[in-house]
Amino acid sequence: MQPVASPIQSTISGSGVTRQEGGGRERFGAEELVVVMSHFDLGIIESITEYPRGSRKAPKLLINAEQGKFLLKRRARGKDDPFKVAFSHALQLYLAGKQFPLPHLIGTRRENNSMLQWRNAVYEIFEYIPGQSYPQTLEATFDSGRILGLYHKLLLDFKTDFQPPAGSYHLAPSVEAGLRQIPATLASAAGDVDLTALLTFLLDSYRYAADEVERMGIDTWPRQIVHADWHPGNMLFRENHVVAVIDYDAARLLPRIIDIANGALQFSIIGGDEDVIKWPDYIDETRFKRFLRGYDEVMLLSQAEIRTIPFLMAEALIAEAVFPIAATGNFGRLEGLKFLQMVQRKVYWLTHNAQKLIELAEG
């Protein structure tokens, strides 16, 4: 096994990848697995088992081999553009060289490249890092903020030949378009709920929050590569510390505060069981503060940035809810209408308690 030299793809000729689909999770075909594995040098393979996590359209296998444990992944359609993958890999290789906690990419046997193309599909192998999900402790929350600060600090001078994407949940026309699509998706489920009033509130709140952030000058602030999907599900923990950050596909060029505010939301929001009506309006203020204190340990936030956080959190919450509900009528397994009602309550709380959150962040 060797460290990856560059984020360029190896290509194997052929046509068509064997897939096993039945409306559920995609799987590797036998020929596919033999050919792909022949391009990596992991030593003697002791076992291969399915790793049914993440997208159902991106099959993964846990490989126990002579040289350690690894994850083999076939990228989902729509997530397999070679140039976008190359940008993501260049970022990961740079961070790996800086000792940032992430699963290292494994290079191909012959050319030591970080991705492999075979029959119009893209494959990656990562080292497997054992860990647990977010334990919701203050120590783990602090460390999540600290690691985000480290991520931003390490990438201040990152340069790549690949064009980073732009765009975010802030001031996004697609969010407003999604809100306008929802009536067609939820019309039959509305019942006695005034769906028009609910969606008008969310649209007005989104515009208000975005306008506040613009008024505070975000357009004039420096841009750098951010993670753009900083949430507990993209981290592995051991003993309340982050041991690995995963999923770099959303990385893009933005003001860092857009990343920080989303992280503050994700690590302080309070959910519950599948009855979202019972979810509280408020966030966990202690975790909110600890996340930002962790970030400040590495990179200090300006007062101007801090003032935007509650409004960016409101934007992020609305944006996260809109797209799946506009497409399917649901948010995962949760009913779309009830989920939007919960979002309405939380957005109201965030915007009406903005000054309180700003003072918490400053203190």
Residue 133 domain flag: no
For residues 30 and 18, the answer to whether their CB atoms sit within 8 Å is: yes
| pLDDT for res 23 | 57
Query: CA distances (Å), 308 to each of 45, 212, 215, 226, 324, in order?
Result: 51, 7, 10, 17, 26
SS3 353: coil
With b for 16 or more beta-carbon neighbours within 10 A and e for fewer, the 67-100 pattern comes to eebbbbbbbbeeebeeebbbbbbbbbbbbbeeeb
| pLDDT for res 163 | 86
Query: Over pLDDT 70: what percentage of the chain?
Result: 94
Same domain, 191 and 265: yes
Low-confidence ranges of the chain (pLDDT < 50): 1-3, 5, 8-18, 20-22
Same domain, 80 and 57: yes
Residue 192 domain flag: yes
| pLDDT for res 173 | 97
Same domain, 32 and 147: no
- CATH value at residue 240: 3.90.1200.10
Same domain, 304 and 196: yes
Please count the other Cβ atoms lying within 10 Å of the Cβ belonging to residue 251: 24
Q: Find the domain containing 61 and state its range.
A: 6-127
* Element containing residue 326 per DSSP (H, E): helix 303-328
Residue 107 domain flag: yes
Instruction: Give the pair of three-digit tokens for residue 338.
Output: 């009830």
| pLDDT for res 187 | 85
Query: CA distances (Å), 55 to each of 24, 51, 77, 332, in order?
Result: 10, 11, 11, 12
Same domain, 69 and 143: no
Tell which phi-psi region holds residue 171, choosing left (phi > 0), alpha (psi between -120 and 50) or beta: left
Torsional sign, CA 51, 52, 53, 55: positive
Same domain, 284 and 311: yes
pTM of the predicted protein model: 0.93
Same domain, 159 and 62: no
Residue 132 domain flag: no
What is the total count of domains within the chain?
A: 2
Query: Which residue is associated with the tokens 């497997």?
Result: 128
Residue 159 domain flag: yes
Q: What share of the chain is helix, strand, coil (3-state, %, to 5)?
A: 45, 15, 35
The distance from CA 161 to its chain's CA centroid, rounded to whole angstroms, is 23
Q: Which of 66, 94, 127 is the last residue of a domain?
A: 127
Residue 19 domain flag: yes
Same domain, 37 and 143: no
| pLDDT for res 17 | 45
Residue 1 domain flag: no
- Distance (Å, whole) CA 153 – CA 167: 21
Same domain, 222 and 103: no
For residues 162 and 6, the answer to whether their CB atoms sit within 8 Å is: no
Residues 6+ apart with CB under 8 A from 59: 25, 26, 27, 28, 50, 73, 74
Q: Which of 74, 99, 127 is the last residue of a domain?
A: 127
Query: CA distances (Å), 317 to each of 178, 198, 294, in order?
Result: 14, 15, 22
Please count the other Cβ atoms lying within 10 Å of the Cβ belonging to residue 60: 21
Same domain, 193 and 327: yes
| pLDDT for res 209 | 98
Q: Which of 99, 127, 155 is the last residue of a domain?
A: 127
- CATH value at residue 90: 3.30.200.20
Same domain, 181 and 114: no
Instruction: Give the pair of three-digit tokens for residue 149.
Output: 């600060």
| pLDDT for res 363 | 87
Same domain, 45 and 184: no
Residue 153 domain flag: yes
| pLDDT for res 12 | 43
Torsional sign, CA 248, 254, 255, 260: negative
